[in-house]
Amino acid sequence: MSAVPMNWVDKLPRLPRPVRLAFVTGVHLIFFTAAYLSAFLVRFDFHIPTNFREPMWEGLAALLLVKMTVFALFKMFQGWWKYVSLYDVIALAQALALATLAFLLVNTFLIEPVMYPRSIYLLDFLLALMFIGGARGSLRIMREATVHRASRTKKSVNIIIVGAGDTGETLVREINKNRNLAYRPLAFLDDDTYKHGLRIHGVPVLGKISDLPELAEKYGVEQIIIAMPSASREQIRCVIETARQARIETRILPAVEAILDGNVSINHLREVSINDLLGREPVKLDTYAIGRFIEGATVLVTGAGGSIGAELCRQVLRFNPKHVVMVDCAETPLFFINRELGGLYDDRVTPFVANVTDLERMRIIFAAHRPDVVIHAAAYKHVPMMEQNPCEAVKNNVGGTQNVADLAAEFKAKTFVLISTDKAVNPTSIMGATKRVTELYVRHLNASHPDTKFCAVRFGNVLGSNGSVIPIFRDQIQRGGPVTVTHPEMTRYFMTIPEAVQLVLQAASFNSPSELFILDMGEPVKIADLARDMIRLSGLSETEIPIVFSGIRPGEKLFEELALSEECVDRTDHKKIFTGKNGDFDFQELRPIYLTLLAAAHASQEIEVRRQLKTLIPTYTHPDIPENVVSIGTGKHRAVLTV
């Protein structure tokens, strides 16, 4: 982007500092004198009585001395007038007020009293503020006007801003003051009818969002910028669809991280992403509670190279832990997250290439670092892949969790957190069934090891995680389609990776006896709608990128659930986190079946693995499991045996 030619204000020669200071001081002397004399003229209707003329001239020297002294102390001669702002005007008013008060005291007590009318002091203050503030503001206005005219000489992008609130106002203000930004705001659109007809920094609010098609064509709009942090999914989708039909580029401000930081800038402009169409509010955290939970603690994260594990490490380090131990069996992802965080946090990050199924290797790591907090994110998660490899799913998800959880109890960690999934609820897949077993095991440890708090945090899909539907759809669109969806009615819960991780840390910080936390995932989203949104975001249509329905894969469900029917779900202090409370449960009754499951997995007996999972989790079903089963035990958590 080429710079706008310098205007005449910028072309003025720069004076040496002493010369500039002398010049600015002289200008202020002129303004002070003019304001003081004008105060008398205004007060006496331009006919100063004879008895006030001599005191007027006698007081001028004292006035100039006082004001110059105060302005020097306040460094008021060092401001750059062409960049004057509201803060400069406020500082000017404060300096003048203090100078006026000082002059009143000097005139009353330190020299022969001069009986001025009291209005003289007020008029002098107001006129000095008007003269000096007006001079400074005029120079800035002239500079910005010439900048604006100069910017017209180059190609500017005609834009309409959707959202006439604080974010939109900030955007226009930054465009106006930065001559290198090649944007030309033509209008605001906002559904708040109270704002219609108003002007913000000279840009009119012309109508509602629904008026966008007509205005885009009328004004030759080249880009639409969404400046509504609280915009709903439907509003953003409407803007995108309108822009797509008119072949207009759509961008959004601010990014989520800008909202969290409270910092809005033109630099945060970006393309609309699928995250924006979820319509989810930014997470509000009790950072004090999380900080108290993590600060000064040694935190061990398994699966640290994965999408969730890596973000957990990033977020944990925000809260000043003593040390973060990162464990993963995948060398390359672990290398990258260690390179990212190691350079920022030096010796507070230690990576270990290790498999959670290797008990002795994990024991060495625990013995070396004795973690206070253990967050277990390591797991095999891809449903179709685990359907083909059920024994590996059990060895890693069940056996690996047992190893890490048992070591947390053995080394007396304060907290153990299991990352679970909504697929553990009434599971129909190997992956979901193994995660449900781990929830039960963690619940058992929480009851039997009072020195360590054991809990599981259950949530749905995260957007953009490795191997998830978003990267797959993006790749299919880039290849020219088709986009494959398993079923028209397939729905899932979604949240962003940072949101999920922040809520995991919040849940883990709760001083609660609950062993299960369930995250509020919002409204479920149809996968087919997600695919259509991604196609639209790419500026294409379904005629160009068709959607093909391939059929439900083994182990998949049409609809996911977040809680079992027998789990009593209660609220916590955080509106997006709930607790799940189960009925009576005796893991010892199920221990023989649990051990048989692990033995079958290590013996690579796939059918037996499925049978034992069915025994432990009655809602789990698979075509290879025989129907001749009976239940044992009492209560809602019964066990089922093959006969």
**Which residues carry out catalysis?**
423
**Residue whose token pair is 């003051």:** 177
| Phi, psi values for residue 205, rounded to 5° | -95, 105
Q: What is the phi/psi pair of residue 2, to 5°?
A: -80, 150
Contacts 24+ apart (CB under 8 A), 336-343: 336/305, 337/304, 337/305, 337/309, 337/310, 337/313, 341/313, 341/314, 341/317
Specify whether the CB–CB gap between 184 and 223 falls below 8 A: no
CA dist list (Å): 133 to 303, 470, 545: 61, 55, 60
| Residue listed under structure tokens 């993006």 | 474
Residue 253: C-alpha distances to residues 210, 219, 262, 265, 610 (Å): 20, 22, 12, 8, 50
Q: What angle, rounded to 10 degrees, do the helices at 400-410 and 430-448 form? A: 20
Task: With CA atoms as reference, report the closest residue to 517 among 616, 424, 618.
Answer: 424
User: 159 pairs with which residues across the strands?
Assistant: 185, 223
322 in helix, strand or coil? coil
Q: Is 487 helix (H, G, I), strand (E, B) or coil?
A: coil
- What's the length of the chain? 643
Note whether 550 and 485 are within 8 A (CB): yes
- Take residue 419 and report the two structure tokens written for it: 């990352």
Helix (H, G, I), strand (E, B) or coil at 262: coil
Which of 61, 59, 71, 127 is CA-nearest to residue 99? Answer: 71
- CA-CA-CA-CA dihedral for 381, 387, 388, 389, to nearest 10: 60
Residue type, 372: D
Q: How far apart are CA 424 and CA 439, in angstroms?
A: 8
